[in-house]
Amino acid sequence: MKFKKNYFLIMFLSFAALGLTSCSEDDDDMVEVMDPTGSLTVADQTVENNMLTISDVEMSADGWVVIHRAAESGGPMVPDIISEPKMVEAGTSSDVMVELKDGVEIEDGETLWAMLHTDNGEIGMYEFDGSNGLDAPILTAGGDVVTQSFSVMEKATGSLMVEDQAVTDNMVTISSVTLNKSGYVVIHADNGEGAPVVPDIISEPVYLEAGTHTDVDVMFTENADVEAGDTLWAMLHTDTGEEEVYEFDGENGLDGPITDMNGDVVLASFSITENDAAAGSLTVDDQVLTNNNVTVGAITLEEDGYVVIHADNGDGAPVVPDIISQAVYLEAGTYTNVEVPLKESADVNMNDTVWVMLHTDTGTEGEYEFDGQNGLDGPITDAEGNIVMESLVITDVSTSAITGSITIDNQAVSDNMITAESITVAEDGWVVVHADNGDGAPVVPEIISNPVYLEAGTNNDVEISFEESADVNAGDTVWVMLHNDTGAAGEYEFDGMNGLDLPIVVDGNVVVTPIDITE
């Protein structure tokens, strides 16, 4: 960008002091600049060690190169400079390093102006103040100030942590990544001499926004040949080219490795270990879809996690990351007959194939966050690194396979108990009492009674005792509810999340009866 001298110099330029000669008196508006002249080239860049680089400087006489901030009008802000003045000898100079003054802070993306100035006052002392006529900006032969704008980007920095680990489902996990600007984490192979093979990568690049990320899963490419005992390198890269397109090839200057505050590339080596134990297992059979619930026969988890249902993609594989069920949270342990409720929007019909899958709980505890990209709550794998999942076929759809009914009247509490005249269940289950929430509905999943186990069939005069902490008085409403027994037999496990011992539903309605406590 060019600025004529009268843009900001007309108030101080003294052509005699600058050694400039004017044209004839007949042409007072024409200025002929004889000496000195110059040119410069500067590229967009980051600040390195408080220094900026001017790519090329050419001057016909010794002079100065300085950095000005941008004025609101868009041009350079003069006479103030934010750099130390850099003396440059006459001739052509490359990669001229200009140091910023102490305390100068540059905003990310800020526009600055590099400018050439004469040295026509005390030699070797920068004296330009905009009014004294000393060390004024150098002009071209056409009378334009020699200046060029450029952008200064914040330097991309970051850190990462990675541990030795086994490959699970063709992925490794980076424990922690911190970036001050969006970028990538990638995996490089080892060159056999304790350094990464660059620029080639053996993983899919994972794009991360600025911030701190934990447990980032990185997928290997299909042709990556990774075995136990291999050393690999996790590395951070910038995103300086097309946004969210990894373009680093070692030559084009795009998406280069990120360096730390000391200028060292941010990378860490780790070793691939053997898969030594299964993290989970499950067993499931083809079944009738009952009350929109899929029943998983057995589940074992070494750590807390989730069981979910994925649809089939039509080619014999699950649709991932989308799920068609609620994510049922399970603590580490072994479970039987876990019911997984499908979402209301799930369109599952007879002869459909669905997939049951186990997932970790690596993000917010108890909150299912898997989306296939954020590295959270990923699929659990077995000892061979395969995802723990099983398919099943829906053989029929039923809404009344598990049934039950309650006959109970309003009554007073006697010996801390109430009595149901009759309860019928099609399969073994439970009867419990829930408090009223004040809006005419039961408080769920909490119960205020001791759960009473019921065998399949009709049970008469069923006594239900309240917990010692239950505060039940005359005039209160309580809710008597039936639950199935799908977890550990004879153990009431309903907590509203784990899919165990769910309320019995008939024709889409929970089997529950409110009663009023009388005097």
Beta strands in 124-198 (DSSP E): 144-145, 147-153, 158-161, 165-166, 171-179, 183-189
Q: Please tell me the number of Cα atoms within 13 Å of 308 on its side-chain side.
A: 29
Alpha carbon 305 to its chain centroid, in Å, reads 20
Would you give the end-to-end CA distance of the chain in angstroms?
A: 92
DSSP structural state of residue 26: G
Other beta carbons less than 10 A from residue 399's beta carbon:
13
Dihedral of alpha carbons 110, 114, 120, 123, sign: positive
What kind of fold does domain 280-398 have according to CATH? Immunoglobulin-like (2.60.40)
What pLDDT does 9 receive? 41
Point out the residues of the chain with pLDDT beneath 50: 1-34
Tokens found for residue 296? 């998983």
CA distances from 376 to 105, 321, 361 (A): 37, 11, 7
Strand partners, 295: 339
Q: What is the DSSP string of 408-431?
A: ---B--BTTEEEEEEEEESSSEEE
What pLDDT does 383 receive? 66
CA distances from 484 to 51, 139, 201, 309, 331 (A): 72, 90, 53, 21, 20
Question: Distance between CA atoms of 94 and 429, rounded to whole angstroms?
Answer: 85
pLDDT tens per residue, range 93-149? 999 999 999 999 888 889 999 999 999 989 999 999 999 989 999 988 788 899 999
Same fold, 158-273 and 280-398: yes
Question: Distance between CA atoms of 301 and 294, rounded to whole angstroms?
Answer: 19
Residue 373: partners with Cβ closer than 8 Å, 6 or more residues away: none
Pick the CATH number of 3-153 from 1.10.1740, 3.60.90, 1.25.40, 2.60.40: 2.60.40
DSSP structural state of residue 96: E
What pLDDT does 209 receive? 94
| Domain boundaries along the sequence of the chain | 3-153, 158-273, 280-398, 404-516
Using a cut of 0.75, tell me whether the model's pTM lies above it.
Answer: no
108 residue type, one letter: D
What torsion, rounded to 10 degrees, do the Cα atoms 42, 46, 49, 52 define? 10
Judged by phi (left if over 0) then psi (alpha if -120 to 50, else beta), residue 231 lies in beta
pLDDT tens per residue, range 10-56? 333 333 233 333 233 344 443 343 468 899 999 998 887 789 999 99
3-state per-residue secondary structure call for 326-391: CCEEECCEEEEEEEEEECCCCCCCCCCEEEEEEEECCCCCCCCCCCCCCCCCCECECCCCCECEEE
Buried (b) or exposed (e) across 479-505, using 16+ Cβ within 10 A?
A: bbbbbbbbbeeeebbbeeebbbbbbbb
CA distances from 37 to 66, 273, 330, 347, 397 (A): 16, 66, 77, 77, 88
Residue 336: partners with Cβ closer than 8 Å, 6 or more residues away: 297, 298, 299, 486, 487, 488, 489
If we measure between CA atoms, which residue out of 503, 493, 489 comes closest to residue 442? 503
Angle at 155 between CA 149 and CA 157, to 5 degrees: 170
Residue 262: partners with Cβ closer than 8 Å, 6 or more residues away: none
Helix (H) or strand (E) holding 235: strand 231-238
Question: Distance between CA atoms of 109 and 46, rounded to whole angstroms?
Answer: 9
Strand partners, 411: 517
Q: Please tell me the number of Cα atoms within 13 Å of 168 on its side-chain side.
A: 23
Contact 484, 427 (CB under 8 A): yes
What pLDDT does 8 receive? 41
Domain 404-516, architecture per CATH:
Sandwich (2.60)
Domain 158-273, architecture per CATH:
Sandwich (2.60)
What pLDDT does 169 receive? 72
